[in-house]
Structure formats: C-alpha cells, structure tokens
Amino acid sequence: MRIHQLGSLRLAQLHDGYGAIDGNRVFYPAKQHEWEAGLAPDPVGFMMNAYQPLLITEGRQHTLVDTGFGEANPNRKGDLREGLAQLRVSAEQIERVIITHAHGDHVGGNTVTRDGTPVPTYPNAEYIVQESEIAAIREANDELWRLRFAPLETAGQLHLVDGEVALSDAVTLWPMAGHTEGQQGVRFSSGGQHAVFVGDLGLSYKNFENPHWGASWAWSREYDEANRRMVAEWAVEHDAIVIMYHDPRTPWIRLDRAGDGYKASPVA
C-alpha cells in the first residue's frame, strides 16, 4: 500500500488484486516491439495489470475512489478491504464513494450480497458518478445496473453529478470523457501541492509518455487522447502527481514535456 500526505489530505492507494491485460490493446495502435520495454509482456503481449482504488482522508472524512472487483472476481488475489483494515477504516466510516467510470473492475465492489440480495457495501456513503456515465447503463437495465447501481439508487445513496464539481476546497471531480462517455477523475490541491487520480485515462505511464497510444476499446479514442494531453499539461504546469489505477509498477508519476509527448518519472 502506498500512502502520501498531500497538504491536509492523506492519499492511500489500496490493492484489489492483479490480473493480465493485452498490451496491444492498451497501447493501440502501437505494436508490441514499440511498447514492451520494461513491462515484461508474454509472447502474445499480455502484461501484468493491477486494480488499485484510492482512499482519501480529509480530517475525519473518508472518501473511496472506485471499489474494485468485489464479488465479481473472487479469484483476483487481493482485496481492498485488507488495506482498509490496515488503516483501521471500516466500511461504515466511508462517507463518499467516487466512481470514475462504470466498468466492472471499478464498480464490482459497489455492493455485496446479503441473504441473496445486493446491498451497498458502504452503507453510509453517497456514491458519486457522472450522470452521463449512468444514463446508458440505466436504460440497458443489464446486470451491471441491476447488481452494482440499482441497489444504490434504492437505498438513496446514488448521487449523480454533471460536470466539474468541487467536493471540498481540496478535492474536485474532473470530467475526462473518452475511455467511457462519462469518465471522471479526481483533482487534489492542498498546501501548495497537487495530484490527480485519472481512472483509466491512462492504464500505464506509457499512455502519458505517448498520448496517442490509448485503449482500443475506448468510447472515443479522439476524446481519450485529447483529455490525456489536457491532464498531462495540467500536471506539468502544477508539478502534480499523476495517480493511475492499473499500472502495477509505477502507479504514481510526475511528467515533463518531451517532444510531442512527455517523460514520466516515478514518485518515490
């Protein structure tokens, strides 16, 4: 677990397990020989992938960003609840859950099953998600909606927002459409220090070094690249830490401009 004090905020990156992902899809349209250095992919291009929600503690208020796989993937070899236990934070103490986007590895832990019924994992939290992210899955009424979001709505805990929203003087929701239609990141500014949690805007530091390399399955590859460049420029200008959800080796980086892209440096 990585813990960093950013002004008045404590940022703790939790681990919800590891898996594998096709690097040729993560870095599309690059070929494996272009992206593989330092990532140790297998012969067909699959590389290690991590699931790493973020816990924000501001005073006595705890906010969780993304909920991991939860019950959706019991074989993921890790559980964010272990990290919460180490920090002595219970599910009941989480007051806010920010959902970056509605993919299963980010929202599977929204709910748990009790007596055959899915109920909110964090019973006292409001779950905050962009309205544009929810619209399509609500209409589809598929399993993702029925198991991971409808129970939140039933419990009165689903909180929809539209656009950039300041949750406090130090924490701001930052729309970053592209990977999905309503993806949002979280921007932090406290004590003259800055950071940003980018969800899946970049699955690896190499997505920021080469902003035109992006997930082949993105809702809009054009928006995905444009917002990656926007966030990278902000990070350079503010000497900000960029925090990624999936990168298992260098999830926290700083960026400097380098040609048409950027150079990433790991944050110790």
The C-alpha atoms of residue 204 and residue 228 are separated, in whole angstroms, by 12
Please, what is the average pLDDT of the chain?
A: 96
What is the pLDDT, as a whole number, of residue 27?
A: 98
Query: Mind listing the pLDDT tens digit for each residue in 192-211?
Result: 999 999 999 999 999 999 99
Q: What is the pLDDT of residues 151-175, one digit of tens each?
A: 999 999 999 999 999 999 999 999 9
Q: For residue 208, what are its two tokens?
A: 């920021």
The set of long-range contacts for 139-146, using a CB threshold of 8 Å and a minimum separation of 24, is 144/102, 144/104, 144/107
Cis bond leading into 53, ω under 30°? no
- For the stretch 212-259, pLDDT in tens is 999 999 999 999 999 999 999 999 999 999 999 999 999 999 999 999
Domain total of the chain? 1
28 DSSP 8-state letter: B
Q: What is the pLDDT of residue 207?
A: 98
Q: What is the CATH number of the domain that holds 158?
A: 3.60.15.10
C-alpha–C-alpha distance, residues 49 and 23, integer Å: 10
For CA atoms 23, 178, 174, 230, give the dihedral sign: positive
User: Which residues contact residue 144 at a Cβ distance below 8 angstroms, ignoring those fewer than 6 apart?
Assistant: 102, 104, 107, 137
Question: Domain limits at 64?
Answer: 2-266
Predicted model pTM: 0.96
User: Given this model, what pLDDT does residue 99 score?
Assistant: 98
Handedness of CA 95, 102, 139, 219 (dihedral sign): positive
Burial grade of 153 (CB within 10 A; 0-12, 13-18, 19 or more):
middle
